[in-house]
Amino acid sequence: MEKLLRTVKAQLESWSEWHSAQTIVVAVSGGVDSMVLLKVMRDLMQLRQYHTRQLVIAHFNHHLRSDSQADADLVKRVAEQYGLAYFYSEWEVPATRNIEANAREARYAFFAEVMRAVDADVLMTAHHLNDVAETFMMRLTRGTSLKGIQGIRANYRRLFVSGDEQAIIAQVMRPLISIPKAMIRQFAEQFGVQYNEDVSNHSLQFMRNRFRHQYLPALEEENPQFIHHLLDLQKQLQASYATHYAEYIQCEPELLMFSQNTYWILYIPAFLALPKEKRQVFLTIFFEERLVEQVPDYRRDVIGQVEQMMLNKQEPNRRLQLGSQWVAVKRYDYLQLMPESYVSKNKFATALNIERENHWYQLDSSHRIGVFVHHQVTPRMKRESLAVLGVELTHRDCWPFTLRHRQAGDTMELIDTQGNIYHKKISRMMIDQKLSAEERERAWLLCENSGDIIWFLPNVVSRLYQRTQTDKITHIFLYQEIKQLKE
């Protein structure tokens, strides 16, 4: 048996998933790589041990080249020659931006439809050793992630989504993964494999072609085994990532949760209990495996910023822009990751720091609050307010103030008419005031930076601020209804 054929057979036999596979869809573009793969797989199917398996050909015409129809005609002709089932589709409206990514999405949606139609176990592609090296070096050059540096995987399970949004899970296999391009070309010449050459593969205006024709050949001059070493390194990285991912999955229920109402909620104490290196790895995996579905364009430096938000105990409430109009909102022990629009619509999902005097902070579409130097507050400003709180801040190190919603266990220090100091739960106050469940969630609490609650808006004031003498008032908090102002 010819060497390339033996190598492919040995590769397939090493994968346990191959032994149960029955229907294999081969993605064939018409180029030398996929046409050689098709020939090799067709020859292997002639062996007695494989004769019950079925090969199916899938060709997608991207219409990105003027001669793309020639590829389609060649693949169809060879499919008929081999007596194999053949599926064809085309990109009717090719994208003009992000062409490579959009083309891949369209192509794989078509593959999903084919696999569903024939009830396939496996999708097989013709990625080879040079593809591994080119992709690895390109990602390294552009900048990549823990997941991205793994490069091209040889055999893995993947979720596909068809054009009509149907989900299909199948195995992706790349049996040429350890075979260099030169051997594939030699095989094609030796056995007269027909293929079409894409002339754009030689244009140095494309980054991949520069690596293919310039950079990698120079590195192979230094060491002819260079691309083989890259494959070995890629396998080690894949094994390392799989180990980290498996450990992350075990810990994930303790670290975070997902809700349709609150999106992602990360529990900060659980992350901080992890060793530093593991925390950084787990945060990276969360972004790459979970959040990437909602925020595909997040910046890599955001992961470090999220970690710093968790570590910063001086700022119990903070907000960070993530990308794709998503934000991270820190609320003491919790970090909520959600669409920015959701924050503005949801009155329960945010907290804010009051750091500036003589400035209005909008709480929602109907209310605002501000703290003003007392001599700048006019009688009209007081009249237009739902509640007014005069405070003396000359000797109090309480900035920034925080405005937030109720949390479990919240209490406020009060004083009765006899001068006795006591603590009362906010939840009890809400019951006494006969607030509905929705009103309880909407209620605002003003806190010092120490965390002490000083005002349960609009009417209950902490003992810490109840006894301020009029002549000692330095600042005034005003709580206003915006609708009322407009009228």
Concatenating the DSSP letter of every residue in 327-372 gives EEEEETTEEEEEEHHHHHH-TTS--EEE--SSEEEE-SSSEEEEEE
Mean pLDDT value of segment 90-114: 84
Name the CA radius of gyration of the chain, rounded.
32
Lowest-confidence region among 238-252, 350-364, 368-382: 350-364
Task: Using CA atoms of 19, 22, 28, 33 in order, give the dihedral in degrees to the nearest 10.
Answer: 20
Q: What integer pLDDT is reported at residue 423 of this predicted model?
A: 87
Pairing verdict, β 334-339 and 401-404: unpaired
Tell me whether strands 122-124 and 167-173 are parallel, antiparallel or unpaired. Answer: parallel
Residues in contact with 80: Cβ distance below 8 Å, sequence separation at least 6, in sequence order: 86
298 vs 485, higher pLDDT = 298
Q: Give me the sign of the Cα torsion angle 311, 315, 316, 322.
A: negative
Segment 251-265 shows an average pLDDT of 80
Local confidence band at 395 (pLDDT 50, 70, 90 cut-offs): low
**In this predicted structure, which of 7-11, 220-224, 363-367 has the lowest mean pLDDT?**
363-367
Mean pLDDT of 88-107: 81
pLDDT of residue 59: 96
Average pLDDT of the residues in 91-108: 80
Give the angle subtended at the CA of 436 by the CAs of 258 and 369, to the nearest 5°.
80
Least confident of 17-21, 93-97, 131-135, 379-383: 93-97
Do residues 154 and 177 touch, judged by C-beta distance below 8 A? yes
pLDDT at 344: 52
pLDDT at 397 over 90: no
Taking 50 as the threshold, does the pLDDT of residue 402 lie above it?
yes
- pLDDT number for residue 40: 97
Residue 6's pLDDT is what?
94
**Can you give the pLDDT at residue 485?**
45
* 116: pLDDT strictly greater than 80: yes
Enclosing H/E stretch for 463: helix 463-466
Mean pLDDT of 407-433: 85
Counting beta carbons within 10 angstroms of the beta carbon of residue 160, is it exposed (0 to 12), middle (13 to 18) or buried (19 or more)? buried
CA 155/CA 175 separation, integer angstroms: 8
∠ CA 187-193-195, nearest 5°, is: 115
Tell me what pLDDT residue 175 has.
97
Contact 18, 172 (CB under 8 A): no
pTM: predicted TM-score of the whole model, two decimal places: 0.65
Contact (Cβ atoms closer than 8 angstroms) between residue 226 and residue 133: yes
> In the structure, what pLDDT confidence band is assigned to residue 297 with cuts at 50, 70 and 90?
confident
Euclidean distance between CA atoms 19 and 320, whole angstroms: 49
Q: Is the pLDDT of residue 304 over 90?
A: yes
Q: How far apart are the first and last CA of the chain?
A: 88
Q: State the pairing for strand pair 460-461/453-456.
A: antiparallel
> Which of the pair, 56 or 467, is modelled with greater confidence?
56
